[in-house]
Structure formats: C-alpha cells, structure tokens
Amino acid sequence: MSEVLVLVDHVDGAVSKPTLELLALAGRLGEPSAVFIGPAGSASDAAARLGEYGAAKVYTVDDTEVKGYLVAPKAEVLAQLVEKTSPAAVLVVSSYEGKEIAARLAIKTKSGLITDAVDIAADGTTTQAVFAGNYSVQAKVTSGTPIVTVKPNSAAPEKSDAAGTVEEFAATISDSAKKAQIVASQPRQSSGRPELTEAAIVVSGGRGTGGDFAPVEGLADALGAAVGASRAAVDSGWMPHSFQVGQTGKTVSPQLYVANGISGAIQHRAGMQTSKTIVAVNKDEEAPIFELVDFGVVGDLHAVLPALTDKVKER
C-alpha cells in the first residue's frame, strides 16, 4: 500500500486536531505517514500521539535548519520526502501557511494541487464547497502527486491500535529557501477558549448584540465553546477580525453552531453552513438564518442567552 504523507501542524510539539483529521482521511487513500518538522526533543511525544491516530510511520525532521525561516524550507522537506517515498498523496491543513507550503510543493514536484477540500474519497476525488458554499465541486488531481489542503473539521479523528514507527529524515535545505527569515514572533494571547476553526461548538454574535458580547461569551464559556462573530460585529470594532466567520473570515464546521443576532447573509453562511447542527437566536422570525437552522429561537438574545446559559450550568 502506498504511503500518504500528512504534514503535521503543531505548536511546540502539541499536534493540532486538524492534523489528526488528516490522518483519518489519509487512511482512505493508503498508509498514513506523518511528517513532523520540529525540535528533536518534542518529536517523541508528538510521534506517540500521531501513531495513536493512525500514522503508520512518523518522519521526524529536526527543525534546526527550518525554524528560523518562513514556509519555503518546509516545502523543500516535503518535496524531498515525495521523491523518496512516491506517496499516493500529500495532505496539508488548509491554513494560510499550509496553503502556501502546498502551493510551493506543487510547483517543486510538478503536481496538481487542490485547496480547501472538505472531503476526500478513497479514489482521491475531493469535495470543495465553492461560491460561498452554494456549489459543491468534485475534483481530482490528474498530474503528479496529488497535493490536497483540507479544511479543519472535515473528518473525525480515528484512533488506531497500531503504534507508528519513527524514522529520522535528514533533509537538505537550500540557501534560496532561507531568504526570508523570522526576526521576531510573539505568542498569541490565549483566551482559554478553543481555537475557532477547531472547536466542536461555536457561539457567534452579530449586529444584534448591539456590541454587548457578554451573553454570547457567557454561553460559549458554559458550553466550552469558541466565540465567533459576523462581519458586521467585526466592522463595528466589537470583536477582532480573527473572530470573523464567513467568506472573508474563517470557515468553521463544528458539531454545533449557535448564531445570535446574525441575519444569515450569504457571506456569513459561507463560513458556517457545513456545521452539523445549527441553532439561531434572532428577534426577527423572517431572518434568513432561520432557513438553514435545525433549531430556531425567535427572541431577544439578551434575554434568551442568559436563560440558556443558566440551564447549561445547571446540568
């Protein structure tokens, strides 16, 4: 069975959930092999977790040569692994960084690239949601090694009994890949809430909050959810852009999405309509958001959300 390379997305060795989702998808196409680029010390914990979620092999690449630079060295590492292993496909998380790495890899390996897939079938056919989610496109790479970036929450991680083997891979990084160097980086301030694109539950607020996000945040914290926002809320300066869900914000696909004071414009839907269960609270019963919800509450969010939060806390 051919290997399927999965580039591991991690922070200081802590493997992201979307990476585990990629391993599950990779298992449909062949034998998943994770590619971990990071400090040697963090590789063993990460390798154990990757093996637990289906990586038959974990390639570890010491990042001494890689860490001070932007994406180019990572694309080189992957290109060298593609040459060594002739994989059935390479899967990368659809982040800004992931998409740039995938694009560079596609050029280096003269391969076809599909970005922002939300599903991959066993024969390599991918599904993408396009035109603000109004169309679903099935596409397949027909040239070179299929390289696919996959949106978070596109699959459920799958535990596996077999432990993966670990293999150190000595990559050679060219001088041209080192032309852009990181001069400073600051850790993001943590809200203590889950990352928006990875969260199982997202509670969002829109213009209907009137700028008071306390009821939205209260419900989110009671549910252990991430907080999202519509563009109207972001443009009003109530929430940072990193919270925006939609066409020009983030795409989320949680188990539960709760939209509060959000009308349901097509550009907002583009970022959340693949959520498994959708709930909306809106005081206008004609609001378009009610066309796509599983459960709708017609009411003032400032009254409904605190009551709901209390009920959640009681449980």
Are 192 and 227 in contact, with CB atoms under 8 Å apart? no
Question: What's the rounded Cα separation, in Å, for the pair 103 and 112?
Answer: 9
Looking at beta carbons only, is 154 or 244 nearer to ligand FAD?
244
Q: What is the DSSP code (8-state) at residue 90?
A: E
Looking at beta carbons only, is 87 or 296 nearer to ligand FAD?
296
Looking at beta carbons only, is 133 or 194 nearer to ligand FAD?
133
Q: How many CA atoms lie within 13 A of 129 on its CB side?
A: 21
Q: Least CB distance from residue 174 to ligand FAD, whole Å? A: 38
- The CA dihedral of 48, 60, 2, 173, to the nearest 10 degrees, is 160
Considering only CA atoms, which of 309, 306, 201 is closest in space to residue 259? 201
Looking at beta carbons only, is 146 or 271 nearer to ligand FAD?
271
Q: Least CB distance from residue 153 to ligand FAD, whole Å? A: 17
Q: Which two tokens stand for residue 63?
A: 């990042």
Looking at beta carbons only, is 162 or 307 nearer to ligand FAD?
307
Q: Least CB distance from residue 297 to ligand FAD, whole Å? A: 9
Beta bridge partners of 128: 117, 137
Looking at beta carbons only, is 5 or 308 nearer to ligand FAD?
308
Element containing residue 49 per DSSP (H, E): helix 40-52
Output Rg (C-alpha) for the chain, integer angstroms: 21
For ligand FAD, the binding residues (CB under 6 A) are 206-208, 230-233, 244-249, 261-263, 265, 267-268, 271, 281-284, 287, 300-302
Q: Least CB distance from residue 262 to ligand FAD, whole Å? A: 4
Considering only CA atoms, which of 25, 1, 5, 50 is closest in space to residue 169? 5
**Terminal Cα distance for the chain, rounded:** 48
CA 23 from centroid of its chain's CA atoms: 13
Q: Least CB distance from residue 17 to ligand FAD, whole Å? A: 23
Q: Least CB distance from residue 81 to ligand FAD, whole Å? A: 35
Looking at beta carbons only, is 115 or 204 nearer to ligand FAD?
204
